[in-house]
Every structure is written in C-alpha cells, then in structure tokens.
Amino acid sequence: MHHYDILAYIAAAWLAIFLYRKRYRRLLPLPPGPAKLPIVGNLFDIPVDLGWLKYHEWCQKLGTDIIHLDIAGTSIIVLDSYEAAWELFEKRSSIYSGKPSLPMVTELMGYDFNSSLLQYGTREHRRLLHHAFHPGAIATFRPHALKTTHALLCRFLDNDGEDVCQDIRQWAGEFSISVAYGLDVKPKNDPYIELTEDGNRTMLFAALPGKFLVNTIPILKYVPEWMPGAGFKRQAKEWRKHARKMLDAPYEAAKRNLRNTGGRASFSVLGLEKLNLTETMSHEEENVQGVAGTLYAALSDSTASALASCILLLMDHPEVFKRAQVEVDSILQPGHLPDFGDMESLPYIMAIIKETMRLRVIVPLVPHMAQAEDEYNGYRIPKDSIVIANAWAMLQDEATYPNPTSFNPDRFMKDGKLNPEVKDPGHATWGFGRRICPGRYLALEILWIGVTCLVSTFDISKAVDKDGKVVELSHEYEAGFITKPLPFKCSFKARSKAAADMIRTASGNDH
C-alpha cells in the first residue's frame, strides 16, 4: 500500500472519530438544574445577592456538584466542588481560560482596560503582571507595605477603632496607589482613594449576575438611550466618567513624577522607564496604564476586605489572638516591629490568614467561559457557557475542612508547623488555571505584615457604648462580587507605652 493511501486512511479514521465524538457530546444531557420556563429559562431564578448560597442549595437538593441554568438562551454552569473546578479549569485550562462577556462593564462603562475582565489572549497584560509580581520580584514593594502598615498602626492608636473599616480602606488604598503609581496620598479624603472606591463600587455592582440584563443578552447594548427600559445606558454613561478618571488621574501624576524627579519605584514607573514616551500614547504604554489601573483597583478592595474580616474573627476568638501574640513575642527582639524576614518563623499567623480566607472568602463566585463544547461526568457543557466556580462551597466542604463554619486556624497546623496535607484555601481563593490572580503573592504579603504588626503591638476587644455595654459584632457583609464586612467598631489598645512609642517612631521614620 502506497504511503499516501496510509495517510488517507489515518486522516479518514481521525475525522470519523472526531465527528463521532462531536455528535456524541451533542447527544449528552445538560447538567441538572432548577425547572426552566419557556424562552426566558431561569431568568427569574438567578439570585441577585448571596448567589453562592442559592447555587449550593440547588446542588445539595439535586445531589450533584454541577448544575445548569438557562438565561434566555445563555447557558450558565455552576461547579460546586473543588474536584469539578480542578478538572475543568486546571486540567482543561485551554478550554476554560476565557472570561464571560460583560458589556455593561467593559463596553458601556469603559472598564475594557481591566486585565481581570479581558480574555486570556491578552499576552501583553499577562507578561507585565508576571514580570512585576512573581515571587522573586515582589520584594521591590516591601518598603511600600511597611510604610503603609506603620501608618495604619498610628491610625489605630489615634482613632481607637472608632471607624476601623475606614482606617483599613485608607491602608489598602495607600498601598495599592503606592505600588501601582509610586504616589503619596492624603491621610484623609484623598482624591485617588475616593476615585478607587467610587470606581470599584460601580464596577463590581454592574458585574454581579442578574443586576443588568445586557450582560446576559448583549444585543441590548445597541438599544438607544431614549427608549423605555434603557435606563442602564444612561447609568453606564455616568459611571463611565468614574472609570476614565480612575484610569487617567493617578497615571498622569506618575508620569509627571517620572519626568520631574525620576519617580519612586512602582509598577508604572518600572514599566514606563522601558518605553520611549511620546505625545501620543503607544499600544505598549496603554498596556502599562491598563495593568496599573487593574492593580490599583483589585489590591485595594481585596486586601481591605481580608484584613477587616480577620480582625472581626480575632475579636470573637480572643484565645486565638492571644496565642498569636505568644508566637510573635517568642521571635521578636525587644524594640522591633515585625518584618518580612520573620515570616517563616510565624506559622500560626499564616494559619490565621489561611483560615480567614477560607471562612470569609473574598470572591465567592469565580466566572470563566467555555470556549469549546465539552463534557464532564456524562453531562454536556455547551460552547460559550458561563462556567462559575462556587469557591464558597468548596471552602465549606466538610470532608476537607471538618466543622467548616467554625474559625479554627489549628486545622492548618501540625507539630508546630503548617500542615502541607491540608488543602490550601488559596487554591479556591485566588482562582484557577490560567486565570489565577497574578497579584496573589503581593496581596498575601501585605495581609501578613498587617496582621503580624497588629498582633505584636495591640490588644483588641469589642467596643463599649456610652452606657458601658459591650457592642456585639454583627458579622454582616456587603454582598457583591467581592464581599466586605459592613462598618464595625472595636477597641485598639497599645500593649505598652513602649509599643506605642515604637509605632510613632517607625511611622515617623517612614516619611
């Protein structure tokens, strides 16, 4: 037989197998899910708030770790187990590295610069992020972390927990703006921090499933503003102004500093130094600006939420806080505040952070998109489905984390060290596959130094009202794409006069 004939037979066999598998997949059933109405499907079933709870409830009721919903023709797949997410997002990452289209956010509101909302194919953004924030590079930003954390300790001294969430937001804003742009900020009412908070609030609100129908039915973006029901277009026009200011104002300030003084080490300055800047912004410079804007927005919200949650949990568990103080006291020299060189010697502090991120997951639902038809456990996953990992459910899995609703950092400890056999909640917290958060190492470092410095210098307790009664904590959260504790009060008391003096000295030396 001629070798061309052999190749023809092989090609025919391959084509037959391909067509069979394609037809076989189309014959597979969709995953189970709540009953669907004609045309609109589950449009009226999609939860607007606390969706992770409802999705988990449906999965429990149906006895499955994968469910299907239909929103007027758009397939939504929810994965309720770590195993399902790992199989699809990690092992088949080439299929699931896309992001769902959010026309309200990207096209109408102008957040098309945000790296976390772009499709995986944006290589320039990924290259910039990896270069700046891989584990070997983030030491560049440790001085920023120490300076902003020492300033936070000073605010705790002065304000005594009267508005702890505002103090923490200031800390997170200072750090993110310093890292992204190398800028100093005002101690109160800083315009850059206010821009971040306004922009993040509207962006995250608009990204929530069920908030705006245009995210599910993209053709609605072409509806004229004057038409009845097109209020979302007028709203987006107003919010677009926030997005533009948030992107441009700090970036232009960083460029001015670079021209005038050389600028301070930051993502923007390091990126701009490699470019030949002209009057017209190049494609490469647009990428630097977009990644800086993403970093500035993402770091501030996530780190603020995590530290506030940690303080809430520690106030409810004074025995955990006291044990953390004992660990820190055992390795710190008198007259010294914690530094990053102490991290390996303080495993219990890291266990507290891991348990906080497990119990108070920052991003409960992690959306991806299926870029090709696929199959999982005998179910069909249609191409272009929005595939959501329910990170909250994964981190509440009793088989992995016994008594999952309890705050127990010891679950991550064994023989005085971190136990590598316990699944790290970071696997679900930071995302999966090629969409994993590139700033995770930096975020973990700023959170670690914040918690460690707090533990080493303060005693914390619940606030007392004017009648001398203890103000109990509500543990209420603002439910959004990123969950955040609602404002609460507490009491911060320096452990000693020496601790207070040390804070003042460290903060003064940073300026």
Annotated binding-site residue numbers: 437
Q: What are phi and psi of 363, to 5 degrees?
A: -120, 95
Q: How many angstroms separate the CA atoms of 345 and 86, rounded?
A: 31
For 314, the token pair is: 């520690």
SS3 160: coil
Q: Of the candidates 102, 51, 113, 69, which has an alpha carbon nearest to the alpha carbon of residue 220?
A: 102
Residue type, 499: A
Question: In three state form, how does the secondary structure of 229-246 look?
Answer: CCHHHHHHHHHHHHHHHH
Burial 373-405 (b: 16+ CB within 10 A, else e): bbebeebbbbeebbbbbbbbbbbbbeebbeeee
Residues 6+ apart with CB under 8 A from 144: 175, 178, 179, 266
SS3 490: strand
374 neighbors 21 (Cβ within 8 angstroms): no
252 neighbors 107 (Cβ within 8 angstroms): no
Q: Of the candidates 62, 53, 60, which has an alpha carbon nearest to the alpha carbon of residue 34?
A: 62
Q: How many angstroms separate the CA atoms of 351 and 324, rounded?
A: 10
Residues 6+ apart with CB under 8 A from 377: 66, 84
Measured distance between the N- and C-terminal CA atoms of the chain, rounded to whole angstroms = 82
Q: Of the candidates 139, 146, 148, 195, which has an alpha carbon nearest to the alpha carbon of residue 170?
A: 148
**Packing angle between helix 164-181 and helix 142-159, nearest 10 degrees?**
160
Angle (nearest 5°) at CA 447 between 445 and 452: 95
Residue with tokens 């679900």: 428
Residues 6+ apart with CB under 8 A from 202: 109, 239, 242
DSSP 387: E
- Annotated binding-site residue numbers for heme: 437
445: left (phi over 0), alpha (psi -120 to 50) or beta: alpha
